[in-house]
Chains A and B, each alone.
Chain A
Amino acid sequence: MDDTRRYERLRERFQNGDISRRSFFGLLGAAGAAYGLQMPFARQAFAAGDVTQVRFDGWGGVVSEAFRKHAFDPYTAKTGIKVIDGTFPGGDEYLAQVRASKAGEYNIAHLSGVFDYARYHSFDLTSELNIDNIPNMANVMPALMNAFKSITPDSLSAAPYDYGTTGLAYNRKFISDDEMKEKGAKILIDAKHKGKIGGWSDWRTRMWYAALQTGQDPNDIKDVDAAWDAVRQHRDLALKYWASGAELMSLLSEEEIHVTEGWSGRIYALQEQGHDIGYYDPPNGFGWQECLFVLKGSPMAACEELLNFMLDRDTSIAVAEGQSYPPALDPTKVDLGDKIPKLPAFDATGTLSGLTFANPAYWNGNEAEWAKEFSRVQRGY
């Protein structure tokens, strides 16, 4: 990770309220030095063939804090193996980093979407977990496990960890609950809100919502041209494409935009901070699951033990409450406490039948063409 990126992450944590202003400026100075020390040691450790540390990469912010406190530190205390945690803003960027690295340099990643799992498999980055070493995996919802097994039937490279939705977030000062329910996904292409609409600069989300706006099945878009027209329509009305969770929260809370798609956990965090932001999952809204993916070349026993730690009930609940996304644990088997059932997208049945997930084969099959096309459409083409 370069210094610029490190500073950006640090600022995101500061904006989220994870660290104080004093710590922020202190860490700003320490960030460069920490990076300089970290990687050479990692390489030496692996070169010696002696596992002294495991690298974990995730989304930063409250999630990293919860992982550090409830999983990494206890794991280090028990095993003596240090967990080095890095952050990334998205799966695309992280995959580019992994592809440019040596095997074993990156170990565990908090990845989003089954299509990421499929992509990593296509790049021959999957490992083989020994499930016997991860007894807590037995408590994970079968619906989440099966999604990965459909890609690698004979083995698993990841443990499901949490899930959420990308729904519609709106400021109730300007948009009523009734208006949102009436217009649904089409509110993002409603000229009434021109200049006050936002959107994630992610081609999958843009096309998913374009499918909903044109009355199509997101996992089987028949009229692709109509969908792109909807993406263009949204672009012409939008003020800003946001690129990170912190930016999404900032744009909504400061009223730069009145409506956008948003990640359920981030919007819940805004609501908890006292902002009158509504959240609505339209029919066929974008559901997704996140996993703890172990990369090929990693020290498997150490990684499996860490995964088991993280899937422990108490750890899972603490992390879930910290990041506001429900855990992958089956609520019919495990008591998840009081707060988690109130989180957006929570499914008490443990079947997740109410959510629509992206079909990995379909989306990865269109990735090359649509990612490129969105780059053009975004710029007025």
Chain B
Amino acid sequence: MSIEQREARQPWILLTPALTAVGLLLIVPLMFIVVYSFWLKSAAGADTSGLFLDNWKEALTDRFYRDILLNTLKISAITTLACAVLGYPAAYFIARSRGNKLILLVLLMLPFWISYIIRTMSWINILGISGALNSALVWLGLISEPVQMLYNETTVILGLVHFLLPFMVLNIYVSLDGIDTNLEDAALSLGATRWQGFLQVTLPLSMPGLAAGGLLCFVLSAGTYITPVILGGPRDAMFANLVYEAIIKQLNWPLGSALSLLLLVVLGVLVLIYNRYLGMAQLAKGLG
């Protein structure tokens, strides 16, 4: 084997463990789901194997699935926007802190040490009828009776923002931390106000982090099902709840497979749109 041939093979040899892992843990299971989505649920027990389009037809044409999917995308968009608005100042503050940056970053990581379920449930103790907020408002005399705050779409979004905010802050922080602060000083020396300096220098340079955080928050939000179960009312559901119900409650694995693939495709298309306008290279930059 010539040196050129050996050099050409070397990247593939190095990539083999990673490709094997991706193949076995991602591609193969995904193929099973694809195959299952063309089967039919059988009332008798075992599903009927074959190439049936019934599940896909139902998933693509039924208004019920379309509406819940659109609502999921809406909730995810609102959540992502709220995370960006709340996360940017926090990330900016951490990035520009001098002595206590490490402590602030550790504080930002702290929520990850507690289960997502428990963090979500904590809102019941805060917003409940006998929760901290109602108790405080009654004690202060601002309300005479506790107000019903839980179990609606707003609390679902609140729970999602609570869960996803650290992801957004971390992404923006990494981006901001890499910006040379001399650039802002240069803008000021050229006559820009602090606000103009931020808008025309810092913000554009931190866009990769903001975009990466946005994509991460959106995708994670669109795939969640626990938050609506814990904090939502009877009608509040996201698309992942329908997948859960099809597979677990209705034992309709073929339909659940088609629905989960539909969600995967929709999110995949959104990632492609992201790539078209911002580029995956920006995502890599944002993720540091």
Identify the A interface with B (CB < 8 A). 3-4, 7-8, 11, 28, 92-93, 95-96, 99, 122-124, 195, 199, 203, 235, 238-241, 243, 250, 254-256, 367-368, 371-372, 375-376, 378-381
A-B contact pairs, 23 of them (CB 8 A): A4-B117, A7-B115, A7-B117, A8-B117, A11-B115, A92-B249, A96-B248, A235-B234, A239-B233, A240-B150, A241-B234, A255-B129, A255-B130, A256-B128, A256-B129, A367-B43, A368-B43, A368-B252, A371-B245, A371-B250, A375-B242, A378-B235, A379-B235
Q: Which residue of A lies closest to B231 (CB)?
A: A240
Identity of the chain B residue whose Cβ is nearest the Cβ of A89 in the assembled complex: B248
> How long is the Cα–Cα vector from A235 to B232 in the complex, in angstroms?
13
A240–B232 Cα gap in the complex (Å)?
8
A307 and B117 alpha carbons, distance in the complex (Å): 34
Taking a contact as CB atoms under 8 Å apart, the answer to whether A28 and B115 are in contact is yes
B3 in the interface (beta carbon within 8 A): no
Residue of A nearest to B128 (CB): A254
List A contacts of B248 (CB < 8 A). 92-93, 96
Determine if A4 and B148 form an interchain contact, defined as CB atoms under 8 angstroms apart: no
Q: Evaluate contact between A375 and B124: CB separation under 8 angstroms.
A: no
Q: How far is the CB of B73 from chain A (nearest CB, A)?
A: 16
Chain B interface residue count, Cβ-Cβ cutoff 8 angstroms: 34
Q: Judge if B26 is at the interface, Cβ distance under 8 Å.
A: no
Q: Is B251 a contact partner of A92 (Cβ separation < 8 A)? A: yes
B153-167: which residues lie under 8 A (CB-CB) from chain A? Answer: none
Contact A11 B251 (CB under 8 A): no
- Specify which chain A residues have a CB less than 8 angstroms from the CB of B233 in the assembled complex: 238-240
Q: Which residues from B are CB-within-8-Å of A199?
A: 234
Interface mask (B44-70 → A, CB under 8 Å = 1, otherwise 0):
111000000000000000001000100
Q: How far is the CA of A123 from the CA of B43 in the complex (A)?
A: 10
Query: Is B229 at the interface (CB under 8 A from chain A)?
Result: yes
CA distance A199 to B151 in the complex (A): 13
Task: Knowing A7-B115, A255-B129 are in contact, say whether A96-B124 is a contact too (CB < 8 A).
Answer: no
Q: Kindly provide the distance from the CB of B29 to the nearest chain A CB, expressed in whole angstroms.
A: 12
- Chain B residues within 8 Å of A255, by CB: 129-130
Minimum CB–CB distance for A341 against chain B, Å: 34
New contact pairs (8) apart from A4-B115, A7-B118, A379-B237, CB-CB < 8 Å: A4-B226, A203-B249, A235-B234, A239-B234, A255-B130, A256-B128, A372-B250, A375-B245
B121 adjacent to A372 (CB under 8 Å): no
- What chain A residues lie within 8 Å of B252 (beta carbons)? 368, 372
In the bound assembly, the distance between CA atoms of A342 and B192 in angstroms comes to 80
* Nearest A residue to B41, CB-CB: A368
Q: Which residues of A contact B43 (CB under 8 A)?
A: 367-368
User: In the bound complex, how far is the Cα of B241 from the Cα of A243, in angstroms?
Assistant: 13
Partner of A122, one of B44, B64, B124: B44
Q: Which residues of B contact A256 (CB under 8 A)?
A: 128-129, 150-151
Could you tell me the distance between the alpha carbons of A256 and B231 in the complex, rounded to whole angstroms? Answer: 13
Q: How would residues 100 to 126 of chain B score, 1 for a CB under 8 Å from any chain A CB and 0 otherwise?
A: 000000000000000111100100100
State how many angstroms separate the Cβ of B153 from the closest Cβ of chain A: 12
Residues of chain A lying within 8 A (CB to CB) of residue B129: 254-256
B82 CB-CB contact with A under 8 Å: no
Is B247 at the interface (CB under 8 A from chain A)? yes
| Residues of chain B within 8 A of A11, CB atoms compared | 115, 117-118, 121
Residues of chain A within 8 A (CB-CB) of B68 are 379
Ranked nearest first, the 4 interchain pairs of A and B with the lowest CB-CB distance are A7-B115, A371-B250, A123-B45, A122-B45
**Out of B41, B64, B148, B249, which one reaches A379, CB within 8 Å?**
B64
Chain B's nearest CB lies how many Å from the CB of A379? 5
What chain B residues lie within 8 Å of A4 (beta carbons)? 115-117, 226
Least CB separation from B125: chain A residue: A254
B42 CB to closest chain A CB (Å) equals: 9
CA distance A151 to B219 in the complex (A): 46
Given the interface contacts A240-B233, A378-B237, does A96 sit within 8 Å of B247 by beta carbon? Answer: yes
Q: Find chain A residues with CB under 8 A from B151 CB.
A: 239-240, 256
Give the CA-CA distance A92 to B249 in the complex, in Å.
5
Contacts of A371 in B (CB 8 A): 245, 249-250
| Given A239-B233, A240-B151, CB of A124 within 8 Å of CB of B45 | yes
A147 to B116, CA, bound (A): 42
List, in ascending order, chain B residues with CB within 8 A of A380's CB: 235
Closest to A6 in B: B115
Please measure, in the bound complex, the distance between the C-alpha atom of A8 and the C-alpha atom of B41, giving whole angstroms: 30
Specify which of B41, B116, B118, B234 is in contact with A378 (CB 8 Å cutoff): B234
Mask: chain B, 167-200; 1 = CB below 8 Å from A; 0 = not: 0000000000000000000000000000000000
Residues from chain B with a CB closer than 8 A to the CB of A8 are: 115, 117
Complex: chain B residue closest to A368, CB-CB: B43
Contacts of B247 in A (CB 8 A): 96
CB-nearest residue of chain A to B236: A379
